[in-house]
């Protein structure tokens, strides 16, 4: 820990990659996700987010969720801990919604 | 021919099930796609007494590979291809409860209002719309029900289970929206739509749906027989069915969660005004009960604001569009009625020609007062929160409304019978 920060490893949701970051314990789940979207890993964003896609943060040592407005200190995160990024999944069910423009189907969900 | 008898549930009894309680329970299943069907199939066989299946979608050929209730060609004339109706009729004969009841609605879950949750023990979410999931989460909590949510992609699945609140500090009990506070990105704009289309829809296989369906069904049984559950914690469970890697996570509440964190235990006052009557008639009857000019809180916090008019955001169009709909319904079709183009949802009232409101009173626009309850999102049996004109409680606070009224109606107004003919 340097200057009140702690070293945390973020595990990518799809690959085995880790991103090591120095974080303030006052950093919230939402702020961490925003930082991960902006973070670069070999010239590529570490994490991308298509519109409508969401991630959850999981504190591996305690197997507990870190919510968007919870600070890492409140979540009990300590230096050296691993945080897994967990991609949200859906019911794989179409809700019968179709978007069209000028007679052209734009999207289905 | 074998007949059902006391031996029907003999194996389930040995496994700890209480068939009498399960036979008298009701489970609401939103979504009749791959996941909803697998869950409904398991609950039908497990002896759940009443199933309510809700889905607005229709079957397509590609659904066949992960649809245990896909209607056979010779059944399609009788059952139709609407998912909810066809699934209900296919699964009704498989229900093992002594007097099974199967109901269905080929509608969006929000269209049914509160009546859909009456008498329900557990709410199962098998939908992909995040707006619908937020709605289900809020309604389950408001009605004090267990909420079981599932999602899958390829060989990965996740089950999230929120037990029915049993006292304690409700603010600290996590809900689905504690994890997903922002759901507007779903189904709300053309950029998401294009991404979804480009992504080729969600990759889905039957084996994952079947495993997750079993997990969801068992979670619903645990909601019916709480003593089997062990603890009251909200949890999520993830599994990769190829590698068998799994993870269980304890969920926690978010201090700024926008979701409902109260259980409404106020006995509603029954109204005479129906969903087909005008908003003005509804307001006048409620005002009589309150002894004061009533302000109606629109029925829930989840995208229930009334959207009346808004300008099209397409720069080439820009015309004022008549929406006349609750926000959730409009978000399903955020489309300009003039140019046909999609446009971003209106989230503020910056434009003077935009008219959205979270409450209605006799001072509302005359055309709002002349609209029917159905037009603004009130179904039969819907609960309507109201306050007198001098009430100081603000809208969208995380508290129940001061007074609750219920529109008349019956479940038959909301659901059709799924008994196979």
From B218, B234, B263, the end of a domain falls on B263
**B155, B208, B254: best mutation site toward chain A, by most A Cβ within 10 Å?**
B254
Q: Would you state the pLDDT for residue B192? A: 40
Q: Which of A62, A89, A109 sits opposite B157 (nearest CB)?
A: A89
Domain CATH code at residue B63: 3.40.50.720
Whether B234 and B292 map to the same domain: the answer is no
Cβ pairs A/B, distance under 8 A: 177
Q: Are B414 and B379 in contact (CB under 8 A)?
A: yes
Q: How many CA atoms lie within 13 A of B247 on its CB side?
A: 20
Domain hosting residue B303, numbered range:
269-414
Q: Are A64 and B250 in contact (CB under 8 A)?
A: yes
Domain total of chain B? 2
Any chain A CB within 8 A of the CB of B62? no
- Exposed e or buried b for every residue in B251-270, given b needs 16+ CB within 10 A? bbbbeebbbbbebbeeebee
Cβ contact B193–A53 (<8 Å): no
Burial class (CB in 10 A: 0-12, 13-18, 19+), B199: exposed
Burial class (CB in 10 A: 0-12, 13-18, 19+), B146: buried
What's the pLDDT band for B136 if we cut at 50, 70, 90? very high
Whether B323 and B349 map to the same domain: the answer is yes
State mean pLDDT over A77-99.
72
**What is the per-residue DSSP string for B323-349?**
EEEEHHHHHHS-B-TTT--B-PPP-S-
**B35, B58, B107, B129: best mutation site toward chain A, by most A Cβ within 10 Å?**
B129
Across all residues in chain B, what is the average pLDDT? Answer: 87
DSSP 8-state code for residue A35 = H
**B252, B253, B332, B342: best mutation site toward chain A, by most A Cβ within 10 Å?**
B252
C-alpha of B48 from chain center:
19
pLDDT digits (tens, 9 = 90+) for B175-191: 999 998 876 543 323 33
Whether B171 and B289 map to the same domain: the answer is no
Whether B192 and B298 map to the same domain: the answer is no
Residue B35 within any structural domain of the chain: yes
Contact list in B for residue A87 (CB cut-off 8 A) is: 153
Residue B87 within any structural domain of the chain: yes
- B280-339 residues touching A, CB cutoff 8 A: 332-335
Domain architecture of chain A: domains with CATH: 6-108 (3.10.20.90)
Whether B215 and B278 map to the same domain: the answer is no
Any chain A CB within 8 A of the CB of B199? yes
pTM comes to 0.89
Whether B375 and B245 map to the same domain: the answer is no
Q: Helix, strand, or coil here: A49?
A: coil
Q: Helix, strand, or coil here: A36?
A: helix
Contact list in B for residue A88 (CB cut-off 8 A) is: 151, 158, 180
Whether B157 and B192 map to the same domain: the answer is yes
Helix B83-91 to helix B34-46 angle, to the nearest 10 degrees?
Answer: 30
Whether B205 and B329 map to the same domain: the answer is no
CA B203, B208, B213 angle in degrees (round to 5)?
A: 120
Q: Which of A69, A70, A91 sits opposite B151 (nearest CB)?
A: A91
Residue B47 within any structural domain of the chain: yes
- In this structure, chain B runs to a length of 421
Whether B121 and B17 map to the same domain: the answer is yes
Find the DSSP H helices in B148-278: 176-179, 190-198, 206-224
What's the pLDDT band for B47 if we cut at 50, 70, 90? very high
Whether B144 and B274 map to the same domain: the answer is no
- The two structure tokens encoding residue B370: 């002349």
Residue B4 within any structural domain of the chain: no
Question: Scanning every residue of chain B, which has its alpha carbon at the shortest distance from the alpha carbon of A57?
Answer: B179
More confident residue, B357 or A13: A13
Whether B119 and B238 map to the same domain: the answer is yes
Question: Any idea which of B35-39, B121-125, B252-256, B313-317 has the lowest mean pLDDT?
Answer: B313-317
Q: Are B130 and A52 in contact (CB under 8 A)?
A: yes
Burial class (CB in 10 A: 0-12, 13-18, 19+), A78: middle
Given a cut of 80, is residue B293 above it in pLDDT? yes
From B245, B263, B281, the end of a domain falls on B263
- For residue A53, the distance in angstroms to the closest alpha carbon of chain B comes to 8
Question: Any idea which of A89-93, B18-22, B332-336, B381-385 has the lowest mean pLDDT?
Answer: A89-93
Whether B162 and B286 map to the same domain: the answer is no
Residue B407 within any structural domain of the chain: yes
Burial class (CB in 10 A: 0-12, 13-18, 19+), B15: exposed
From B263, B290, B308, the end of a domain falls on B263
**What's the CA gap between B304 and B138, in Å, rounded?**
12
Q: Would you state the pLDDT for residue A94? A: 40
Q: Label the pairing between strands A82-87 and A6-11.
A: parallel
Given a cut of 80, is residue B209 above it in pLDDT? yes
Contact list in B for residue A86 (CB cut-off 8 A) is: 158, 238, 249
Any chain A CB within 8 A of the CB of B257? yes
């Amino acid at each position: 820990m340097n200057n009140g920060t702690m070293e945390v490893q973020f595990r990518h949701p799809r690959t085995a990659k880790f991103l090591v970051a120095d974080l303030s314990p006052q950093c919230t789940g939402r702020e961490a996700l925003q930082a991960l979207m902006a973070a670069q890993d070999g010239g590529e964003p570490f994490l991308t987010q298509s519109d409508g896609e969401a991630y959850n943060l999981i504190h591996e040592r305690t197997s507990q969720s870190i919510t968007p407005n919870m600070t890492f200190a409140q979540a009990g995160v300590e230096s050296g801990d691993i945080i897994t990024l967990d991609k949200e999944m859906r019911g794989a069910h179409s809700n019968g919604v179709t978007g069209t423009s000028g007679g052209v189907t734009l999207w289905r969900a | 021919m074998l007949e059902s008898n006391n031996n029907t549930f003999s194996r389930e009894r040995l496994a700890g099930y209480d068939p009498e309680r399960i036979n008298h329970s009701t489970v609401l299943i939103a979504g009749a796609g791959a996941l909803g069907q697998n869950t409904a199939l398991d609950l039908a066989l497990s002896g759940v007494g009443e199933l309510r299946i809700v889905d607005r979608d229709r079957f397509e050929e590609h659904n066949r590979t992960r649809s245990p209730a896909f209607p056979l060609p010779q059944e399609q004339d009788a059952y139709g291809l609407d998912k909810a109706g066809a699934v209900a009729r296919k699964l009704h004969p498989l229900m093992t409860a002594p007097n099974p009841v199967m109901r269905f609605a080929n509608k969006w879950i929000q269209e049914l209002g509160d009546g859909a949750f009456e008498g329900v023990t557990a709410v199962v979410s098998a939908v992909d719309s995040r707006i619908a999931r937020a709605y289900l989460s809020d309604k389950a909590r408001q009605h004090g029900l267990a909420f079981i949510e599932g999602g899958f992609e390829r060989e990965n699945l996740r089950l999230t289970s929120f037990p029915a609140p049993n006292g304690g500090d409700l603010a600290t009990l996590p809900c689905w929206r504690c994890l997903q506070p922002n759901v507007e990105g779903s189904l709300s704009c053309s950029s998401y739509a294009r991404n979804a289309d480009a992504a080729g829809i969600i990759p889905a296989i039957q084996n994952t749906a079947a495993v997750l369906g079993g997990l969801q069904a068992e979670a619903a049984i645990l909601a019916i027989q709480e003593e089997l559950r062990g603890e009251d914690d909200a949890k999520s469970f993830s599994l990769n069915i190829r590698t068998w890697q799994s993870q269980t996570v304890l969920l926690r509440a978010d201090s700024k969660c926008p979701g409902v964190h109260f259980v409404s235990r106020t006995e509603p006052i029954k109204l005479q005004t129906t969903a087909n009557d005008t908003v003005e008639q509804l307001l006048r009857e409620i005002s009589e009960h309150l002894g004061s000019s009533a302000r109606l809180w629109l029925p829930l916090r989840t995208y229930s604001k009334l959207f009346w008019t808004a300008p099209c955001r397409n720069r080439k169009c820009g015309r004022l569009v008549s929406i006349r709909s609750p926000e959730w319904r409009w978000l399903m079709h955020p489309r300009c009625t003039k140019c046909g183009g999609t446009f971003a949802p209106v989230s503020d009232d910056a434009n003077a020609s935009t008219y959205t409101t979270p409450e209605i009173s006799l001072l509302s626009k005359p055309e709002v007062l002349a609209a029917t309850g159905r037009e603004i999102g009130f179904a039969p049996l819907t609960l309507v929160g109201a306050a007198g004109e001098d009430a100081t409680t603000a809208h969208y606070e995380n508290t129940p409304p001061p007074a609750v009224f219920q529109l008349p109606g019956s479940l038959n107004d909301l659901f059709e019978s799924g008994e196979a003919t």
